[in-house]
Amino acid sequence: MAARSGLFNWGGNIRYGTDVVERPGSIEELQQLVARSNRLRTLGTGHSFNRVADSDALLVSVAGLPTVLELDSAAATVRISAGLRFGELTGFLDRHGFALANLGSLPHISVAGACATGTHGSGNGNPALAALVRAQQRVGPDGSLVEQAAGEPDFDGSVLALGLLGPVTELTLALVPSYQVRQYVYDSLPFRALAEHFDEISAAAYSFSVFTSWRGDAADQLWLKSQQERAAGDCFGARPAAGPRHPLPDGDTSAATEQGGVPGPWQARLPHFRLEFTPSNGDEIQSEYFIERAHLPAAIGALRAMSDVLAPVLQVSEVRTIAADELWLSPFYRCDRVALHFTWVLDEPAVSPVVQELEARLADFDAVPHWGKYFHTSSARLAELHPRLADFAALVRRHDPAGKFSNAFTRECGLG
């Protein structure tokens, strides 16, 4: 057992309700721990900005379980231990000629944690990371091992599950052949062009991001991660960057993945940040909302209209795209979405009223919050936004009737 008083996560505004953290060294030890505990939550790499992983009794990390890395070349899948981080997986896959179809901004987070909360990368054809899961193993409330595979009953309700069905121990992920990516960065993309030509801009590359403060007439940066070489020159009015860029205006560009159209392996280009760069710990709050693509032009206007409200607490905002999936609790359930991400300063009293106003302005667009980020959306509104939320809550009640894996956050969200 490891314990730290006043345990924090990356979202430094969150202090967990307990400092008791168990790190079992085997699946059998984890099974015994779960069976004898009354309440517990599974802790990933701590990259959450609300109390989704909190517990007032016990936190369990699966990072100490034996490493599993089993490639099935014929099936194009890989079986991995749940505590593995993306940065530990991607090099192994590339060396064997395989890849994940997409990656998030950070290679430092755990695969299981990313899948459990709906973490995503970007690209019109790229779904969230949980959509890559083809099978999983987890520990049920009685300590038994539960195996599930795609196509089995309730599988689509059990992958993106916020830890409410028990600690995940292993995952099997779908793979594609390894590929090369070139990253191009442009400065000053006019908001008018983004609104009027969004479909063309977001389709211009394999992965797409816009970074902005929502002030002025143009977004600060356009990042295109492409599998093909792009022609020199402007891109919808945005100018090619004269040198490397960081998403933050004053960020250290050496931490960003290589730009300038230099080809490189997928795992060295799709994330925004290099694996050897250690992300900041606790100096920000993050929120993220997902809207239908058709709403983006109007949402751009709404966000620009409140730029003076956002400015005192906003570090940077990012726009991305995510493809639809079939996962019950996913913000992308049967709907292609645009992501509106906000990195705030670490000052919750100042950020909270801004987030409330932001949610009010985005309400007309049925904005769905990210499960692992900071939001105020009510349980009633979450039930309206997630058509399978009631089905998921019923699934949780069937598998964990005593609520061993729930916490105050999940109950307040109506999830069990």
Task: Please say whether the dihedral angle defined by the alpha carbons of residues 49, 55, 56 and 57, taken in this order, is positive or negative.
Answer: negative
Residues 158 and 38 reside in one and the same domain:
no
Task: Give the C-alpha separation, 100 to 31, whole Å.
Answer: 30
At residue 283 the predicted structure's pLDDT band, cuts being 50, 70 and 90, is confident
CA separation for the pair 34, 316 (Å, rounded): 40
What is the pLDDT averaged over residues 256-277?
Answer: 93
83 falls within a domain: yes
**Average pLDDT rounded to a whole number, residues 324-342:** 98
Q: Which of 286, 289, 304 is nearest to 348 (CA)?
A: 286
- Are 223 and 317 contained in the same domain? yes
In this prediction, residues 126-130 reach a mean pLDDT of: 97
Token pair belonging to 297: 């032009």
The C-alpha torsion from 90 through 94 and 96 to 101, rounded to 10°, is 80
Q: What is the 3-state secondary structure (H, E, C) of 26-58?
A: CHHHHHHHHHHCCCCEEECCCCCCCCCCCCCCC
Tell me the CATH number at 330: 3.30.70.2520
Tokens read off for 325: 């999936």
Quick one: residue 216, left, alpha or beta (phi over 0 = left, psi -120 to 50 = alpha)?
left
Note whether 127 and 193 are same-domain residues. no
DSSP 152: S
At residue 71 the predicted structure's pLDDT band, cuts being 50, 70 and 90, is very high
Judge whether residue 234 has pLDDT over 60: yes
Burial (Cβ within 10 Å: 0-12, 13-18, ≥19) of residue 414: middle
Residue with tokens 């006043």: 6
E strand residue ranges, 168-292: 168-174, 176-177, 180-190, 207-212, 218-226, 239-240, 264-265, 285-292
d(CA 404, CA 416): 10
Instruction: Count how many domains the chain has.
Output: 3
Q: Do 141 and 185 fall within a single domain?
A: no
pLDDT digits (tens, 9 = 90+) for 87-109: 999 999 999 999 999 998 888 88
Q: Are residues 125 and 135 in the same domain?
A: yes
The residue range of the domain holding 50 is 2-61
pLDDT on residue 3: 32
Based on the domain organization, do 107 and 251 belong to the same domain? Answer: no
Structure tokens given for 246: 């960081």
Task: Tell me how far apart the alpha carbons of residues 93 and 108 are, in angstroms, rounded to a whole number.
Answer: 16
| Whether residue 314 has pLDDT greater than 60 | yes
Cα distance between residue 212 and residue 7, in whole Å: 32
In the chain, what percentage of residues exceed pLDDT 70? Answer: 95
Could you tell me the pLDDT band of residue 46, with boundaries at 50, 70 and 90? confident
- The helix (H) or strand (E) run that includes residue 138 is strand 133-139
Q: What's 32's domain CATH number?
A: 3.30.43.10
Q: Which residue has the higher pLDDT, 389 or 87?
A: 389
Q: Which amino acid is at 369?
A: P
279 pLDDT band, cuts 50/70/90, is low
Q: Is the pLDDT of residue 282 over 60?
A: no
- Compute the mean pLDDT over every residue in the chain, rounded to the nearest whole number: 94
pLDDT of 361 above 80 = yes
Looking at the fold, whether 365 and 220 belong to one and the same domain comes out as: yes
Torsion of CA 300, 286, 23, 83, to 10 degrees: 30
Helices 296-305 and 348-362 pack at an angle, to 10 degrees, of 140
Residues 227 and 293 in one domain: yes
Report d(CA 408, CA 43) in Å as an integer.
15
Q: Kind of pairing, strands 314-322 and 69-72?
A: unpaired
Q: pLDDT band for 8, please (50, 70, 90 cuts).
A: very low
| Mean pLDDT to the nearest integer, 362-386 | 97
- Map residue 354 onto helix, strand or coil: helix
User: What are the tens digits of pLDDT across the range 219-228?
Assistant: 999 999 999 9
Quickly state the pLDDT bin for 2 (edges 50, 70, 90): very low
Residue 203: band (very low, low, confident or very high) from pLDDT cuts 50, 70, 90: very high
Whether the per-residue pLDDT at 6 is higher than 70: the answer is: no
Task: Give the distance between the most distant pair of CA atoms in the chain.
Answer: 63
Query: Closest Cα partner for 148 from 130, 134, 131, 162?
Result: 134
pLDDT-based confidence at residue 17 (cuts at 50, 70, 90)? confident
The DSSP call for residue 139 is: E
- What per-residue confidence (pLDDT) applies to 109? 87
Which whole number is the average pLDDT over 37-57? 89
